[in-house]
Amino acid sequence: MHQNPEEQPGNPMSAQHGDSHRPGRSSGGLADPKAEFRRNAVTDDYKITAQVLGLGINGKVLECYCKKTGEKCALKILYDTPKARREVELHWRVSGGPHIVRILSLYENMHQGKKCLLVIMECMEGGELFSRIQARGDQAFTEREASEIMRDIGSAIEYLHLMDIAHRDVKPENLLYTTRESNAALKLTDFGFAKETTLLNSLQTPCYTPYYVAPEVLGPEKYDRSCDMWSLGVIMYILLCGFPPFYSNTGQAISPGMKQRIRLGQYEFPNPEWADVSEEAKQLIIQLLKTDPSERMTIGQFINHPWISQSMAVPPTPLHTSRVLTEDKELWDDVKEEMTSALATMRVDYDQVKIKDLDTSNNPLLNKRRKRPMPVAADSKDEADGVECDACDNEVAFADDRGKMIIRQK
């Protein structure tokens, strides 16, 4: 239901209050794959601020307000490139799916003399997944809660895979809560690396954040939607203990030793963090972290696994997660910074990385608590080829499709 260019755009706020009002959406149905862009200036309908809400793969996200309703929203600004078009089209296609951040409106505007795609999304004010757990303090985080979170993330991945889309960068920073309330919904965002998964489109580009990258991405083998399943395994592992199963030396986005451990599937369930975690949860992780994609659990199997489908039967065992995240806050923030940097800059030819043996017990997140000496990290020499949109550096200026300047604000 793509709008013809000669048609007058409708009320830009018609998409604000539910998916049933959105172009290309039907209640309970699949999304129209064709995104519909408005060509009037976004500032006709939204007040844009210079407040940066986050950094995506292909652009920055600004805070904005709907002029008609006063609703706070998020504006993502992308230079109009084939890659940006793909991101927007795929996100639009699945927007409104379960636990997926909704797109409210799309615009084509000129910015700094260049054509841009402007994506208005719901504002996720509840923060990142692990920041929320970390902020709990003395309030215990339980295995049952971890099950419920994984069920929600799994439902988003299930929807994507049913739509023949692989997200390809499922990671904690891309999992956000709608509000700060206890009943807030957790949603998946940032489709900068998403691709369609068809037989004619085997996904081979090594462009992932390494902490959540599947082993087949690190080598010449082809990979498919099963790489999202690997990411689910890593996230589930962290939820249950507070540190990742695979790790790099501090200062490197990815190290030869980390690459080898991922490809060999070398990880442990060390005590005391894993002492009280159920065997069922551990076995589920093992099925998700299989190094052979053909042996890895599918999303259908994951959703139907008792630990996921029967979360109320999962024991409410208190976990070490919130304590570990708090104790290792400084180190964990370093890891997140490395991953965030890798999102826009890392395009590594993994085949050129020489594999070296490394003591598999040198996990810095474990060493810090075990009081063991940490290895000295080499400088990262990853080269950047990403292009970052500078649309929110102190000023915001937009033009409509005729090139007329609409607003300039600091």
Which residues share a beta bridge with 186? 177
- The residue from 45, 80, 169, 190 that is catalytic is 169
User: What values do phi and psi take at 355, rounded to 5?
Assistant: -80, 130
Q: Report yes or no: 303 and 158 within 8 Å, Cβ to Cβ.
A: yes
169 classed as catalytic: yes
The helix (H) or strand (E) run that includes residue 355 is: none
Residues 6+ apart with CB under 8 A from 259: 210, 218, 350, 353, 355
CA atoms within 13 A on the CB side of 143: 18
- Burial label for 266, CB within 10 Å (0-12, 13-18, 19+), is middle
| SS3 call for 123 | coil
Q: Which of 191, 235, 195 is nearest to 213 (CA)?
A: 235
Report whether 356 belongs to an annotated binding site.
Answer: no
Q: Collect all residues with Cβ–Cβ distance below 8 Å to 249 and sequence separation of at least 6.
A: 255, 257, 258, 362, 364, 375, 376, 377, 378
The Cα 183–Cα 237 span in angstroms is: 23
Q: Hey, how many other C-beta atoms are within 10 angstroms of the C-beta on 24? A: 21
Tokens of 188: 């998946």
Buried b (16+ CB within 10 A) or exposed e, 147-182: bebbbbbbbbbbbbbebebbbbbbbbbbbbbbeeee
Cis peptide before 272 (omega within 30 of 0): yes
**199 CB contacts (<8 Å, ≥6 apart)?**
none
Are the beta carbons of 219 and 213 closer than 8 angstroms? no
User: Helix (H, G, I), strand (E, B), or coil: what is residue 111?
Assistant: strand
In 72-217, where does DSSP find H-type helix? Answer: 82-94, 129-134, 143-162
Strand, coil or helix: what is 156? helix
**Residues that are catalytic:** 169
Binding residues: 76
Binding residues for ATP: 76
